[in-house]
């Protein structure tokens, strides 16, 4: 899965992965993160997620990274924000009122780009990637994050034989394999959500579990 795949999805507005509402798990479980007010939160593969607005409303600063220039433009335009656009290394940096999106490739991020981040919210990154890229993603994320950063992670689990991703099924054993060497992995919730997701039922799924984890550095 290359960058062209995501550019094409945004160009043709094939963005069923975008949630118009604030993620309910974010609202329910963010309070379990030990992140002080005025901290900066990293949102990888952020798209134009309104979750970033919710985080900002909690007196948090936000840095997202997104490969699609369409998604970045739409986030600011649709929310009535007028960003200042500058260059930051390999990225275009779009910034307005404590919200920053680095437009470019996640894998080009360096530790310096996220050095001031105190937490991570990952709703749509790990599940957006096929298995080989998930391994690379998790390795790169843990390599660049400051050592004390907690992660709130949301995944989906289903029978991958029933549906082609994305979103991809990411089982708990895989999450633990990626992160347990460095983080204590606590599952906060596991919920069958297929009844609330008719589109996935139409694609052939017979069960769809959402799982929420908090990852705390050891």
Q: Is 94 annotated as a binding residue?
A: no
Structure tokens at 9: 């999805």
CA distances for 101 relative to 76, 129, 197, 198, angstroms: 10, 20, 29, 32
Could you tell me the pTM of the whole model? 0.92
Query: Rounded to whole angstroms, how far apart are CA atoms 127 and 116?
Result: 25
Q: Is 10 annotated as a binding residue?
A: yes
Quick one: which of 150, 114, 155 has its CA closest to 134? 155
- What string of pLDDT tens digits covers the 218 residues of the chain? 566 765 576 665 655 554 678 999 999 999 999 999 999 999 999 999 999 999 999 999 999 999 999 999 999 999 999 999 999 999 999 999 999 999 999 999 999 999 999 999 999 899 999 999 999 999 999 999 999 999 999 999 999 999 998 899 999 999 999 999 999 999 999 999 999 999 999 999 999 999 999 999 99
CA angle 171, 175, 179 (to 5 degrees): 170
Provide Rg for the chain, Cα atoms.
16
Q: Where are the domains of the chain?
A: 3-12+22-217
Q: Is 50 annotated as a binding residue?
A: no
Asked whether 158 and 208 are in contact (CB, 8 A), the reply is: yes
Quick one: which of 108, 105, 155, 123 has its CA closest to 41? 123
CATH tag for 3-12+22-217 (out of 3.30.1370.60, 3.40.50.150, 3.40.50.300, 1.20.1250.20): 3.40.50.150
């Amino acid at each position: 899965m290359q960058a062209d795949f995501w550019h094409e999805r945004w160009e043709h507005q094939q963005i069923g992965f975008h949630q118009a509402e604030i993620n309910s798990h974010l609202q329910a479980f963010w309070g379990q993160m030990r992140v002080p007010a005025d901290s900066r939160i990293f949102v990888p593969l952020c798209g134009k997620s309104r979750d970033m607005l919710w985080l900002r409303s909690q007196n948090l600063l936000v840095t997202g990274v997104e490969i699609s220039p369409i998604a970045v433009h739409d986030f600011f335009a649709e929310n009535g924000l007028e960003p200042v656009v500058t260059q930051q290394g390999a990225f275009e940096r779009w910034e307005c009122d404590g919200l920053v999106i680095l437009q470019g490739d996640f894998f080009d991020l360096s530790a310096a780009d996220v050095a001031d981040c105190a937490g991570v919210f990952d709703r749509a990154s790990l599940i957006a990637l096929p298995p080989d890229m998930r391994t690379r993603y998790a390795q790169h994320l843990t390599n660049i994050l400051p050592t004390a950063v907690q992660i709130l992670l949301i995944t989906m689990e289903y029978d991958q034989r029933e549906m082609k991703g994305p979103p991809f099924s990411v089982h708990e054993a895989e999450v633990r394999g990626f992160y347990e060497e460095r983080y204590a992995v606590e599952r906060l919730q596991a919920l069958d959500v297929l009844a609330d997701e008719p589109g996935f039922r139409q694609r052939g799924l017979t069960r769809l579990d959402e799982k929420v984890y908090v990852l705390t550095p050891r």
